[in-house]
Structure 1
């Protein structure tokens, strides 16, 4: 397939446009705020009766994220193995896309009487979203040459930010001015927002589904037991890491700092609502601000990586995250929270985009089974989210304060920085390879 084809690259980026509304509306803004308010009105306290156990709503939210990504980490190896052998990468991408989108649409029925089923639907939406991403990411080395990884990855993230902002602005207008739309029930705008996420996701996903290649079956013989094939693929990639020392070191560092980064992404709004008692409208507007700043951040880190190398750019991002966690621990005022939010926006998308591009660059040359390699990358990321959100929820439940959970994330980021420091810059890495040749 011809690489760097503008039509295919733009179609690939459109999936970021399509799915990022889930990350913004469902994960980061409207759903967490609505969930916190609904849980409080249902029980009269922050505690929820979950199958006979009394659990803080913020902890239950965190554990739902952990459980969803744990399930995804188990499913993805099986699916990517089948995708590699049968060439049905796009089919699996579609399946997870529709699973996530339909789950979001069903959240329209989220009320205090359907709290637990709606939380399960939220978990299914996470499984659908994260499952589709691994197949989406695996297309990058197939549609682009290495010198364009950073730029195209940043373009995808920035399009995702921009598209999700457009939908959030519409949803926010319904929440702030419901009478303009003829809505009397104040809970309805949020529920309509969940439905629009699913519609938007399915609608714009048709563009990448139309232009991205379907894939071709692997030349290797097909084994009869797909279950073991999936984990054999992971085992094979793990074995190949022994011959790719820089790739192995990067994955170790990626696992650690992603624990902190993605946990913040999922619990930041809950933190603002629970610890700082910020009003719902302020929280949603803050998340919108994060998205706008994130567009600049994605391209800024892509430019920075071109100047000093991917690893050094990632290290700068992690240092900023350490500062964010330190500031969050001492934050007591709304303005301090807003300043931190702007800083989060600058580094969140940039670090995710650069991580995806760096991994693509470090893959062995002539790699054909990109789905298997990105399955390993995705499982690494998902297990990091599982562990990170579990630690956050456990510390919150044990201490009764999310501020101590923030300190735990601070330690995680410091450890991630130390691991990144073990990896030479891309220029040094390439020079060593050329010297060996």
Structure 2
């Protein structure tokens, strides 16, 4: 097997995939698309799957829940097959292609009558993005030594934040100066979706070119029933985690609980600002840019804190801050004096811990998994845990919004998950690389 652990060129190329794909997270999941969707559907009933949806924003969160449920179901199977056949890169390429093309197809979502295209394309883009992340994350233990996982993981997130900020500014310029290009605002927004897809697919080729070549098992040498190896590998790893790795099992529980809060807030923050607080597009984009810039600082800062004081202490700090973010958001309402100032402050605080908690969670898990060749299967647990958490969080968020007609209670409910995660994390035993 090609020796790649510690190879600086491979690490740089691996981390560059964050530069490529994070534009989806920012422009599509967080910033421009949620605002566009809210503007198109606001005050209207949306017909989808033969149902009239009174709350279109709840439909959107349910659609996201469905996409994450699909990823949670298929990723363990695909990861097991990838480990067995040695074709992680092929799966990563497939999901990258699915996600980027689906993002480009959002251009066809041009009004209320085509909301179904927006919903379906959003689902497929989400599956493509998160499906590729399963295999992307699985490379981390192969390319970096355990003591370097924090730095390498943070490097990827920092790349992602820088790249996504640049593209968001480009898309924002296209939208704000649409008259100069002879475009309507709607067409300019939809063109930005195409730009995101092209950016993602194009820059991903740099990563694919540097990642090691696959050593696939020839088809004539495959065992009978190899397609079911994914289930067998999943069952084996599950049994191993439960029996032999109690610290890893406890960390996965904590990670599930914190992911309910983190990922749901990331996915719904813009809808909260537009639908609940009635903030303007420029104000929301400004807040998002503040979050992204401070997330770069936060990822770097907390990687250093974890090196000095340990992963658990660093994660504990971030979780406590996230709890305060939830309470702060609950207290905000559209009639509050200086609402914009408070929203900016809350966004700044969130930014400092956004990149940090994601980077630390990934690197901590990579340190806790045992020495194995089945990295993709082990990381499928990490990704499936996160996806089920997102299904839980977005469903609860959408349900509470539909029941109370307010997103404030939805946000407050997430603080409960953060608190539970903190309780579990504080009981985690120290290991050689995690303290």
Please report the TM-score for the alignment, with normalisation by the length of structure 2. Answer: 0.94
What is the CA distance between 1:349 and its match in structure 2? 1.1
Taking the aligned partners of 1:425 and 1:182, their CA distance within structure 2 comes to: 60
What is the CA distance between 1:49 and its match in structure 2? 2.9
Gaps of 5+ in 1: 431-437
Which residue does the alignment assign to 1:433? none
1:270 aligns with 2:268: no
Alpha-carbon contact 1:311-1:426 (below 8 Å) kept:
no
Alpha-carbon contact 2:367-2:434 (below 8 Å) kept:
no
Which residue does the alignment assign to 2:82? 83
Which residue does the alignment assign to 1:225? 225
Which residue does the alignment assign to 1:409? 414
Alpha-carbon contact 1:85-1:222 (below 8 Å) kept:
no
Which residue does the alignment assign to 1:354? 360
What is the CA distance between 1:314 and its match in structure 2? 0.6
After superposition, what is the alpha-carbon deviation per residue over 1:67-99, rounded to whole angstroms, capped at 9, x for unaligned? Answer: 000011111122112211111110000000000
Alpha-carbon contact 2:4-2:10 (below 8 Å) kept:
no
1:309 aligns with 2:315: no
What is the CA distance between 1:254 and its match in structure 2? 0.2
Partner-residue secondary structure (3-state), 1:187:
helix
Superposition pairs of residues 133-282 of structure 1, within 5 angstroms: 133-183=133-183, 185-217=184-216, 222-226=222-226, 228-241=228-241, 242-282=243-283
Taking the aligned partners of 2:80 and 2:433, their CA distance within structure 1 comes to: 34
Alpha-carbon contact 1:81-1:226 (below 8 Å) kept:
no
Q: 1:48 aligns with which of 46, 51, 70?
A: 46
Which residue does the alignment assign to 1:25? 27
What is the CA distance between 1:46 and its match in structure 2? 5.0
Quote the RMSD (CA, aligned, Å).
1.6
Which residue does the alignment assign to 2:381? 376
Superposition pairs of residues 382-393 of structure 1, within 5 angstroms: 382-393=387-398
Of 17-26 and 285-294, the range deviating more from structure 2: 285-294
Of 259-268 and 415-424, the range deviating more from structure 2: 415-424
After superposition, what is the alpha-carbon deviation per residue over 1:270-298, rounded to whole angstroms, capped at 9, x for unaligned? Answer: 00001100011211221122111111011
Superposition pairs of residues 98-113 of structure 1, within 5 angstroms: 98-112=97-111, 113=113
Of 231-240 and 400-409, the range deviating more from structure 2: 231-240
After superposition, what is the alpha-carbon deviation per residue over 1:332-390, rounded to whole angstroms, capped at 9, x for unaligned? Answer: 3121111111111111111001100000000112x111011011111111111111111
Taking the aligned partners of 1:349 and 1:391, their CA distance within structure 2 comes to: 24
What is the CA distance between 1:214 and its match in structure 2? 3.1
Which residue does the alignment assign to 2:13? 11
Which residue does the alignment assign to 1:93? 92
Pair 70,223 (structure 1): closer, same or farther in 2 beyond 3 Å: farther
Partner-residue secondary structure (3-state), 2:185:
coil
Taking the aligned partners of 2:151 and 2:356, their CA distance within structure 1 comes to: 11
